[in-house]
Chains A and B, each alone.
Chain A
Amino acid sequence: MTDTTMSCERVDALLAGYLDEEAPASERRAVELHLATCLRCAALVRDLERIRARAGALAPLAPPRDLWPEVGARLDAADA
């Protein structure tokens, strides 16, 4: 049975599973029904989805200096 009167607190508790698409279909539908009418929870979900998307798209970072000379010296020491 679909819970159309889900509270914000209940949505908070289910959000992790909802965002990572691990929630059962009936639970997803109940959360989505709630999101359609609750601006607070809809904004929360939008923000968390944005954070997850941005995290997955972060560009690689280069070290601030060339570390190869130190790596090479350590390989010399290890091989000696």
Chain B
Amino acid sequence: MTVAIADNESIESERARADVALAAAGDRDAFERLYRGNVNRVFSLCVRMVGNRTQAEELTQDVFVRAWQKLALYRGESAFGTWLHRLAVNVILNQRKSEGRDRKRFGDEGEEVEALPHSASLAAPGTGIDLEAAIALLPPGARRIFVLHDVEGYKHEEIAELLDITAGGSKAQLHRARMLLREALNR
């Protein structure tokens, strides 16, 4: 029922708003409720962006520690989940920048691969691999852009700003990512 769903969503967002206010005043229980309500979305973003579960667990923790520290700056202009998601993207990208300061520029990162590597652990021969596994095998630069655009719904102009590349570069990397995924999924 549409009305019932809308009512539930509105109750949920009311609760989240109340918890944000409590957490900003130092209420750890309220912050834990916010954590529990958002952790899967944050972890999904982290694991898909970095392609590594262990690193994603660390980053997920970093995001919530950062959120706790920054909560007083949240003004409620957007939903808390949206604010947290943006914060998570920044934490992930800053981590990559600090790791790769002496590497190549962000958008150029990732070797020129012709095809994604085969991974015996992903699937039996001939059965193909699933999309999650194939995303994890993408070169880092192409993977970040694919996740931000096709999974998370960011526009090329937003991605360009986040990654300090051109919108054209974002489009080219996205196409490359999709072609690599197609090849991997059709094996």
Using CB atoms and an 8 Å cutoff, list the residues of chain A in contact with chain B.
Answer: 15-17, 19-20, 44, 47-48, 51-52, 54-56, 58, 60-65, 67-68, 70-72, 74-75, 78
Please tell me if the beta carbons of A47 and B182 are within 8 angstroms of each other in the complex.
yes
Once A56-B153, A71-B61 are accepted as A-B contacts, the answer to whether A61 and B47 lie under 8 Å apart by CB is yes
Please tell me if the beta carbons of B131 and A15 are within 8 angstroms of each other in the complex.
no
* Cα–Cα distance between A20 and B174 once the two chains are bound (Å): 10
Please tell me if the beta carbons of B44 and A61 are within 8 angstroms of each other in the complex.
yes
In the complex, whether B22 has a CB less than 8 A from a CB of chain A is no
Please tell me if the beta carbons of A70 and B61 are within 8 angstroms of each other in the complex.
yes
Please tell me if the beta carbons of B171 and A16 are within 8 angstroms of each other in the complex.
yes
Q: Is the interface of B mostly helix, strand, loop or mixed?
A: helix
CB nearest neighbor in B for A53: B150
B contact residues, total (Cβ < 8 Å): 39
Contacts of A51 in B (CB 8 A): 131, 150, 178, 181-182, 185
Please tell me if the beta carbons of B151 and A55 are within 8 angstroms of each other in the complex.
yes
9 closest A-B pairs by CB: A55-B150, A16-B175, A60-B40, A61-B44, A63-B43, A60-B44, A71-B64, A47-B182, A55-B151
Tell me the chain B residues, 158-187 only, with Cβ under 8 Å from chain A.
Answer: 171-172, 174-175, 178-179, 181-182, 185-186
Min CB–CB distance B59 → chain A (angstroms)? 10
- Which of A63, A72, A78 counts the most chain B CB atoms within 10 A? A63
Tell me the chain B residues, 19-44 only, with Cβ under 8 Å from chain A.
Answer: 28, 31-32, 35-36, 39-41, 43-44
Q: List 18 A-B contacts (CB under 8 A).
A: A15-B175, A16-B172, A16-B174, A17-B171, A51-B131, A52-B178, A58-B132, A60-B40, A61-B48, A62-B39, A63-B43, A67-B43, A71-B61, A74-B65, A75-B28, A75-B31, A78-B65, A78-B69
